[in-house]
């Protein structure tokens, strides 16, 4: 297994382990992260561990035309109960993804260094967020509504590809609302969801082989 040097490069994808581990070490500089994502590689590691870079044999992706919206979600969306914004609270979204308690393991890998690295990418215009807000009309004595962040997601925009990183919900279905908004309101040709999970599968995401994924990102990235 290769340890990375200061030079921004990665070993061939074929050298990854069966778990998808490609390399260790390096840094989380904007330059290395962008190079990694443009080449189908992403970091995923835990606190007090070295940076681990992945290129799994199977990649979870969503082709926008395959998005599935259930009847129950359609009803929720038609009610317009929530306000949806983009890039209005990126730091709060990634902080919520990092700290929210949930049953799955999504978001648990967001270390302080990872958080700051993606905030830098956001300031450079690459990392994007979708925010879902609830409105509390009784929040003050002046009759003004207060917005509360109840769901969202963030990731990187690489050309016509959105590389999803994490999402969260404080209110049921709000991460799905953010995801559906992302797909329906942009012209992305591919949403990279990285690894399989039931939540994204229910929205139409599916696994494809690594070679197919790499071919597609070279063509449309």
Q: Is pLDDT at 152 greater than 60 in this prediction?
A: yes
Q: What pLDDT, on a 0 to 100 scale, did the predictor assign at position 1?
A: 67
DSSP 157: E
Q: Classify 2-57 by CATH class.
A: alpha beta
- Give the chain's end-to-end CA distance (angstroms, integer): 28
In sequence order, which residues have a C-beta less than 8 Å from that of residue 206 and are 6 or more positions away? 60, 61, 62, 66
Q: What pLDDT, on a 0 to 100 scale, did the predictor assign at position 220?
A: 76
CA nearest to 202, candidates 62, 65, 107, 56:
62
Question: Which segments of the chain belong to CATH 3.30.70.3550?
Answer: 2-57
Mean pLDDT, the chain, rounded, equals 92
CA nearest to 153, candidates 111, 117, 191, 120:
191
Check whether domain 59-207 has CATH 3.40.630.70, yes or no: yes
For 39-78, the pLDDT digits (tens) are 999 999 988 889 999 999 999 999 999 999 999 999 999 9
Q: In angstroms, rounded to a whole number, what is the distance separating the alpha carbons of residues 16 and 1?
A: 8
Q: What pLDDT, on a 0 to 100 scale, did the predictor assign at position 144?
A: 63
Percent of the chain with pLDDT over 90: 83
Question: Which segments of the chain belong to CATH 3.40.630.70?
Answer: 59-207
For 88-107, the pLDDT digits (tens) are 999 999 999 998 876 655 44
Position 130 confidence tier, pLDDT thresholds 50, 70, 90: very high
Q: Which residue has the tokens 């992260």?
A: 33
Percent of the chain with pLDDT over 70: 92
């Amino acid at each position: 297994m290769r340890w990375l040097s200061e030079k921004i490069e990665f070993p061939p994808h074929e050298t990854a382990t069966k778990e998808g581990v490609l390399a260790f070490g390096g840094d989380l500089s904007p330059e290395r992260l962008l190079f990694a994502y443009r080449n189908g590689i992403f970091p995923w590691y835990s606190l007090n561990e070295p940076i681990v870079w992945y290129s799994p044999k199977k990649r979870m992706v969503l082709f926008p035309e395959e998005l599935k919206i259930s009847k129950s979600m359609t009803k929720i969306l038609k009610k317009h109960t929530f306000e949806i914004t983009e890039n209005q609270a990126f730091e709060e979204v990634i902080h919520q993804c990092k700290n929210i308690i949930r049953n799955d393991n999504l978001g648990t890998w967001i270390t302080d260094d990872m958080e700051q690295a993606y905030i830098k990418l956001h300031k450079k215009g690459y990392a994007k967020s979708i925010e879902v807000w609830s409105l509390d009309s009784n929040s003050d004595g002046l009759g003004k509504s207060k917005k509360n962040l109840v769901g969202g997601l963030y990731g990187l925009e690489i050309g016509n590809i959105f590389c999803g990183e994490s999402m969260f919900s404080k209110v049921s279905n709000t991460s799905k609302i953010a995801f559906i908004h992302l797909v329906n309101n942009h012209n992305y040709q591919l949403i990279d969801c990285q690894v399989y999970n039931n939540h994204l599968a229910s929205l139409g995401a599916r696994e494809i082989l690594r070679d197919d994924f790499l071919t597609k990102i070279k063509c449309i990235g």
